Amino acid sequence: MSNGNLTELLRQAVQREGTKNGRYHQAVRLLGDYPEWPADETRDIDLYVASLSAASLRARVAGSEVDAALADPRWAAAETLANECARGQQ
């Protein structure tokens, strides 16, 4: 699936999205930048994707799992913690 380059796949998804408010743009903002994945993680991901059923693969391509990950309350908690730490250093 990835041919070893998940970062490039993410860049392509961001470009196709066409809006800065889209899910992939938001993911990159939350991550702070485009991530780099080690080769062993890329292999594991490729093996996992190869094992998915057609329905599971469609759900991932449709982005429903990306939307769920973006809605995870831990992002808000991380932002709150970062803000609190920044205030404490002033």
- pLDDT, one tens digit per residue, over 50-67 is 999 998 888 887 778 888
C-alpha to C-alpha distance for 44 and 4, rounded to whole angstroms? 11
For residues 40 and 29, give the distance between their C-alpha atoms in angstroms, rounded to a whole number.
25
Does the pLDDT at position 1 exceed 60? no
Res. 76: pLDDT tops 60? yes
- H helix or E strand, kind and range, residue 42: helix 39-50
- 2 has pLDDT over 80: no
Q: Average pLDDT, whole number, for the chain?
A: 87
Rounded to 5°, angle at Cα 67 from 6 and 14? 40
Nearest Cα residue to 26 out of 81, 63, 61, 56: 63
